[in-house]
Amino acid sequence: MLVGSYSDKPAESQTRAGIAGTVMRKLIARDEGARVFTMRMITIDVGGHIGLHDHPWEHEIFVVHGEGQAFTGSGRTDIKPGNFIWIPPNEEHGFENTGSVPLEFICCIPLE
């Protein structure tokens, strides 16, 4: 078993095109011995966003803090703490912090 604190993991600024004000912490990945999934904590600052993008894998997301919107090419949905989100493979998706505090969510994906 492994128990840790997310604050012990480095916050990696996300600088790809279409992303602003976003950091990611890899909580559990290959380095921790994971074989199937990666668990990440994503933080989007006030006014920040992750633009539309897609991947050939699904995402499981749990909103921990803040408020914002999850969106696809066809619409937007408000999100808040306690919400879970499932994104199927190859579906375009993005996130925007529309609140007054950082938006934080846990995101699990298959190991690449």
What does the domain layout of the chain look like in residue ranges?
18-46+81-112
Contact 76, 93 (CB under 8 A): no
pLDDT reading at 112 higher than 80: no
Q: What is the mean pLDDT of residues 13-34?
A: 94
Query: Which residues on neighbouring strands pair with residue 84, listed in sequence order?
Result: 62
Q: Which residue has the tokens 């919107």?
A: 69
Residue 36: its pLDDT value, please?
Answer: 95
pLDDT for residue 41: 98
Over residues 34-76, the pLDDT tens digits come to: 999 999 999 999 999 999 999 999 999 999 999 999 999 899 9
